[in-house]
């Protein structure tokens, strides 16, 4: 099969072609490896999606379910013997002695590691500008951000540098970059996927999920990710196997539009694409109605207490003792800790550690952390109430399309507002998917569909029906990659 045809295949279609013997796993891996490596070595000329790319294709594994469709993995997943740096200088060159459960599961199912993708440092950011390895560019417009924090994963899939990618979502870090790059991103129910081997940001919210070209690919990847893992006490078994979606219609499906997340603060072009999608859903047979999530406007405030609090605790482990960077010339142990953390962490990470330390400090705990946990209860109750009347909640994924590089870096609060529509679902632990639903000024707009805990199969079906009707064309984001530069910077290791 010729290389350009290979790149046209979705992961699901590639599995079929591999199964039928129309394509070999090595051929498929190399088609992507060459592109990923070229982007990595292109320096300022590329999108900067990858922090590491496999040097060669792994051995064929013909009996596996996924037959060797290569996988791009966000840098924060630990991969044995392969740099896993979570976008941070403090972990520069760190090669873990073990592999994250979800990466092992996918590799075991026949999705070998293609490369590690760039991200916001420790997954803190909405634009991928907070990476120690430089920003990722949006393949739709290189003056714009791809979103974050899984920006490298999203841009790589949109640009055709990887067939699919693994990301993580804490407050929107899969869904928002998927929306800004015109691809599909799914945050599963909290606990559906093991967090073992994910470098932690906010443990009560972090969840791994797929970033893919279409909804079927998201279902296929999810099927091989889920399940209880004895090494993550919060992981659990899904009540049913993940099915590949087939729905074409939405008869009998009730979609709820929350006033609180669909009016104020949403860009006009985004709102227009959202309204057009609701009309499309109606034509497919869905009942569209208004619902209330009265506490949703407070979700962002609660999130920016809870997530920094958990991060300040999780990131205490980066102290220059066991791995990563250590500042030189320290006078004593405490001085070594504080200097290492000063040198190793970027500005946003420092900001959140400070915020979290404050929110957890004696005398402020009840006013901040304690209150935020109670707000979280109210938000969960809002969703539970809404799901009595509707099957799914729909909103725009992001209030804006991809914004310009540097546009929000000077104002943390405006950056945080990028997560306005995605954070409530994270706090409630419920699954939510973003699918591309149109363009505004030539840039992709994402539709977010959220369902009750464990409703993944129904959610994927609804997303599939809409996807088929919308017929979004992401072809404009595919980048041309020449062979120039490939191999100048051979990376170590052959993958997992």
Partner 1 sequence: MARLARLALSEDELEPMARELSAVLDHVAKIGEIDLTDVPPTSHVLELTGGLRPDEPCPSLSRELALGQAPAVSGEGFLVPSPQA
CA 465 to chain centre: 22
Stretch that binds partner 1, among 37-45, 104-112, 316-324, 477-485 (CB under 8 A): 316-324
Closest approach of Cβ 290 to partner 1, in Å? 22
When the beta carbons of 133 and 420 are compared against partner 1, the nearer one is 420
Closest approach of Cβ 137 to partner 1, in Å? 26
Write down the catalytic residue from 149, 426, 434, 455: 149
Q: Give the footprint of partner 1 on residues 140-199 (CB under 8 A).
A: 189-191
332 binds partner 1 (CB under 8 A): yes
Closest approach of Cβ 458 to partner 1, in Å? 18
Tokens, residue 160:
């055709």
Residue from 151, 149, 237, 243 nearest 194 by CA: 237
336 binds partner 1 (CB under 8 A): yes
Residue from 77, 93, 53 nearest 344 by CA: 93
The structure tokens 């999780």 sit at 314
The percent helix, strand, coil of the chain (3-state, each to 5) is: 40, 15, 45
Binding mask of the shown chain, residues 348 to 387, with x at each position contacting partner 1 by CB under 8 A: --xx-xxx-xx--x-----xx-xxxxxxxxx-x-------
By CB under 8 A, name the one of 164, 201, 387, 416 that touches partner 1: 416
Tokens, residue 384:
């539970």
Size of the site for partner 1 (CB under 8 A): 72
295 binds partner 1 (CB under 8 A): yes
Task: Please state whether the peptide bond connecting residue 127 to the residue before it is cis, i.e. omega within 30 degrees of 0.
Answer: no
Write down the catalytic residue from 10, 86, 173, 418: 173
Q: Give the footprint of partner 1 on residues 417-456 (CB under 8 A).
A: 427-430, 453
Stretch that binds partner 1, among 99-107, 148-156, 194-202, 332-340 (CB under 8 A): 332-340
298 binds partner 1 (CB under 8 A): yes
CA 130 to chain centre: 15
409 binds partner 1 (CB under 8 A): no
Q: Is 350 marked active-site?
A: no
E strands of 309-421, at which residues? 392-396
Task: Please spell the DSSP secondary structure of 419-463, one letter per residue.
Answer: GTTTHHHHHHT--EEEEEEEEETTEEEEEEEE-STT-HHHHHHHH
116 binds partner 1 (CB under 8 A): no
Q: Is 478 exposed, middle or buried (0-12, 13-18, 19+ CB in 10 A)?
A: middle
Give the chain's radius of gyration (CA, Å): 21
Tokens, residue 397:
């994924």
When the beta carbons of 37 and 302 are compared against partner 1, the nearer one is 302
Q: Is 88 marked active-site?
A: no
Tokens, residue 383:
């969703």
Closest approach of Cβ 148 to partner 1, in Å? 18
Q: Is 74 marked active-site?
A: yes
274 binds partner 1 (CB under 8 A): no
Q: Which residues are catalytically annotated?
A: 74, 149, 173
């Amino acid at each position: 099969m010729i290389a350009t045809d290979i790149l046209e295949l979705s992961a699901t279609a590639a599995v079929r072609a591999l199964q039928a013997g129309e394509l070999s796993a090595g051929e498929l891996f190399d088609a992507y490896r060459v592109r990923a490596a070229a982007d990595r070595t292109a320096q300022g000329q590329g999108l900067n999606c990858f922090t590491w790319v496999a040097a060669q294709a792994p051995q064929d594994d013909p009996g596996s379910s996924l037959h060797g469709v290569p996988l791009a993995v966000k840098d924060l997943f630990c991969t044995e013997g392969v740099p896993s740096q979570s976008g941070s200088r403090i972990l520069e060159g760190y090669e873990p002695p073990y592999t994250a459960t979800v990466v092992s599961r996918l590799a075991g199912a026949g999705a070998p590691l293609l490369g590690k993708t760039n991200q916001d440092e420790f997954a803190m950011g909405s634009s991928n500008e907070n990476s120690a390895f430089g920003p990722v560019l949006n393949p739709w417009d290189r003056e714009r951000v791809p979103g974050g924090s899984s920006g490298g994963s999203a841009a790589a899939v949109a640009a055709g540098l990887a067939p699919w990618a693994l990301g993580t979502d804490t407050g929107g870090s899969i869904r928002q970059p998927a929306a800004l790059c015109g691809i599909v991103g799914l945050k599963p129910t909290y606990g559906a996927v093991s967090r073992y081997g994910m470098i932690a940001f906010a443990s009560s919210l972090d969840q791994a999920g797929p970033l893919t070209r279409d909804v079927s690919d998201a279902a296929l990847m999810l099927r091989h990710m889920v399940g209880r893992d004895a090494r993550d006490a919060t992981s659990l078994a899904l009540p049913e196997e993940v099915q590949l979606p087939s729905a074409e219609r939405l008869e009998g499906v009730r979609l709820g539009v929350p006033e609180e997340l669909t009016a104020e603060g949403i860009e006009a072009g985004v709102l227009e694409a959202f309204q057009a999608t609701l009309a499309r859903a109606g034509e497919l047979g869905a009942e569209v109605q208004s619902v209330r999530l009265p506490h949703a406007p407070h979700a962002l405030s609660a999130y920016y207490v809870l997530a920094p609090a958990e991060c300040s605790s999780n990131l205490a482990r980066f102290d220059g003792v066991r791995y990563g960077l250590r500042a030189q010339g320290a006078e004593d142990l405490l001085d070594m800790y504080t200097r290492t953390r000063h040198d190793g962490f970027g500005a946003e990470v420092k900001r959140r550690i400070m915020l979290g330390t404050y929110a957890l400090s004696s005398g402020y705990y009840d006013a901040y952390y304690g209150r935020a946990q109670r707000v979280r209860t109210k938000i969960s109750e809002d969703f539970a109430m809404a799901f009595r009347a509707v099957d799914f909640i729909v909103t725009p994924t992001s209030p804006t399309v991809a914004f310009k590089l540097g546009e929000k870096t000077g104002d943390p609060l405006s950056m945080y507002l990028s997560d306005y529509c995605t954070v409530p679902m994270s706090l409630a632990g419920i699954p939510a998917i973003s699918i591309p639903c149109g363009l505004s000024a030539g840039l992709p707009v994402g539709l977010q569909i959220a369902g009750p805990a464990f409703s993944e199969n129904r959610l994927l079906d609804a997303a599939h029906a809409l996807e088929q009707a919308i017929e979004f064309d992401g072809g404009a984001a595919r980048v041309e990659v020449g062979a120039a530069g490939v191999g100048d910077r051979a990376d170590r290791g052959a993958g997992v």
